[in-house]
Amino acid sequence: MDRRPLGRSEIVIEPLVLGGNVFGWTADEQTAFPVLDAYVAAGFTAIDTADVYGKGASETIIGKWMKARGNRDQVHIFTKLGSEMAPGKKGLKAEYVREAVNASLKRLQTDYIDLYQSHRPDPDTPQEETLGAFDLLIREGKVRAIGSSNFTAPMLAEAIEIAIVKTLPRYESEQPEYNLYSRGSFEGELQDLCVKEEVGVIPYFSLAAGFLTGKYRSEEDFDKSPRGARMDRYFNAKGMKILGALDRVAKSSGATPAEISLAWLVAQPGVTAPIASATSVEQVESLARGVRLKLSDEDLRVLTEAGK
């Protein structure tokens, strides 16, 4: 299977990252364990979560699963900090970075995190302070590599420059919102920077909160899942055009809209691996088919044009 390096770090992963945002939300422990088992059985290793998901519930479930399976050294754990956990518990100041990582390590029942990510920019904290805090964590062996999420190109470029000038660790990955529908925040300046600097890209909302699965075709479908309330933003001419293109490619390829959407993402310059979540073994199997699907040049063209 295709395996890709995460930036310039020593971490190499397959082209799919399992999203842990649903654990402790729409997937309890009993549901999550079979999903995680199926994901690893399919040949994948990277699991993305954040301290804020379920206010620690996601990390806790993943930690219990790793302990039960005894497989910590066989998986890559990506987690994030910075979003508000409680009043006064947010941001990227050095003191809070240390507090947050220790809390995540405890919930995950591990002594190291493979990729520790700044969940969102913190305008109140100099980037040098945050990178300095991450440097100490790496030196202590608590973190292997660091990444950013929701950064703009200028923010990421500034962080890379600081890392060079101050001899600090650099962000090896960026986690942007990116999918067939939402492309503006990544394509262009940020994508060019990531490709040039060899920063790995692990997009979230790869399936546009479920819209790109094709199961939402009218407002009556919004009640199909807790994410249905988010569908309003996609129900417009652009969204319908994308669904039409997905249906066209599905007819010729035999793949589902979700699988085709993931295959399109994997084919985009700079993308290391899309993040996608699942609440059933069947969904995991579909995600695996998607990232292994090779679309023709014509199919890629049709999809790309539809999402402009």
39, 53, 116, 171: which is the annotated catalytic residue? Answer: 53
CA atoms within 13 A on the CB side of 172: 20
Backbone angles phi, psi at 90, to 5 degrees: -165, 175
Region for 18 from its dihedrals, namely left if φ exceeds 0, alpha if ψ lies in -120 to 50, beta otherwise: beta
* Residues 6 or more apart in contact with residue 6 via CB below 8 angstroms: 12, 13, 115, 145, 147, 172, 173, 200, 202, 272
* Contact yes or no for 211/234 (Cβ under 8 A): yes
DSSP 210: G
Q: Where are the beta strands (DSSP E) in 124-220?
A: 143-149, 171-175, 200-201
216 a catalytic residue: no
Q: Could you give the CA distance from residue 32 to residue 308 in angstroms, rounded to a whole number?
A: 36
Radius of gyration over alpha carbons of the chain, in Å?
A: 19
Please name every residue paired with 147 in a beta bridge, in sequence order, or none if there are none: 117
Please name every residue paired with 173 in a beta bridge, in sequence order, or none if there are none: 200
**Tokens representing 117?**
């990510």
Measured in whole angstroms, the distance separating CA 142 from the mean position of its chain's CA atoms is: 21
Residue recorded with tokens 């919930």: 107
The catalytic residue positions are 53
